[in-house]
A = this chain, B = another copy of it.
């Protein structure tokens, strides 16, 4: 039920509008009052329908969250793309911009951030991208893509293969393949990506993402009033890694 593929037409457009409205209303409730306030009846009331009517559009309550989630993911993607477009076509600048933009977005959209990345309530079911790609993966790829570009452009220093412990090398191998595939799909020609580069990528991604998510979830509150400077220190480290000491 729900999700009927309709031929394009006036009716289909109306349906799409309603779906948008539902996503919007859901998101509004989510932002203003939290996930617990996202209830079928509340959303229905917001868009001016009766509760059961929503079932023409979504399968259940989680469907609403999925809807909002997709909208939020689009919003985040647009924000990141936009920030990147406003900035010189330099991979380093773009990398730093991406990180900073992601952090500000997260700080300005804490509950949406929770919905997309954190919430354990509906785990791994909420998909954002078209092909069923979780938002977190799409975001990771945005980071990976620009850092790979950065690496391709500057060939910054990365650990040599033999400096990586054997189990680490083995666990990175599939990751390198996935990166190579993604890069090819994005028409990025990088030749052979060294394992050290994938390690460095993961290193910074885990730190960037980890720091932001800790900040959002309040796990840094006991130490810092503002995690901004710590985040900037991280970016500086990244910059030094790329431009050399």
Q: Which A residues are closer than 8 A to B by beta carbons? A: 35-36, 114, 117-121, 123-124, 134, 136-137, 140, 164-165, 167-168, 170-172, 174-175, 178, 199, 202, 206-207, 209-211, 213-214, 217-220, 222-230, 232-233, 236
Nearest CB of chain B from residue A164's CB, rounded to whole Å: 7
Q: Chain A interface mostly helix, strand, loop or mixed?
A: helix
Q: Cα distance A6–B35 when bound, in Å?
A: 38
Q: Which residues of B contact A168 (CB under 8 A)?
A: 229-230, 232-233
B165, A236: Cβ atoms closer than 8 Å: yes
Q: Which residues of B contact A211 (CB under 8 A)?
A: 206, 210
Q: Which residues of B contact A199 (CB under 8 A)?
A: 233
Nearest CB of chain B from residue A173's CB, rounded to whole Å: 10
Q: List 29 A-B contacts (CB under 8 A).
A: A36-B121, A114-B120, A120-B217, A121-B121, A124-B218, A134-B222, A140-B219, A140-B223, A165-B233, A167-B228, A167-B229, A168-B233, A171-B224, A171-B225, A171-B229, A174-B225, A175-B224, A178-B222, A178-B223, A202-B223, A202-B224, A202-B230, A206-B220, A207-B210, A209-B214, A209-B219, A210-B210, A210-B214, A213-B214
Nearest CB of chain B from residue A160's CB, rounded to whole Å: 14
A223, B175: Cβ atoms closer than 8 Å: yes
Q: Which residues of B contact A209 (CB under 8 A)?
A: 210, 214, 219
A229, B175: Cβ atoms closer than 8 Å: no
Q: Which residues of B contact A218 (CB under 8 A)?
A: 123-124, 136
Q: Which residues of B contact A178 (CB under 8 A)?
A: 222-223
Q: Cα distance A168–B235 when bound, in Å?
A: 13
The 10 closest A-B pairs by CB, nearest first: A210-B210, A168-B229, A167-B229, A171-B229, A137-B222, A175-B223, A114-B120, A136-B219, A168-B233, A171-B224
Nearest CB of chain B from residue A38's CB, rounded to whole Å: 12
Since A136-B218, A137-B222, A165-B229 are in contact, a sample of 12 more A-B pairs with Cβ atoms closer than 8 Å, ordered by chain A residue number, is A114-B120, A120-B217, A123-B218, A140-B219, A165-B236, A167-B229, A170-B229, A171-B227, A171-B230, A172-B229, A174-B225, A207-B207
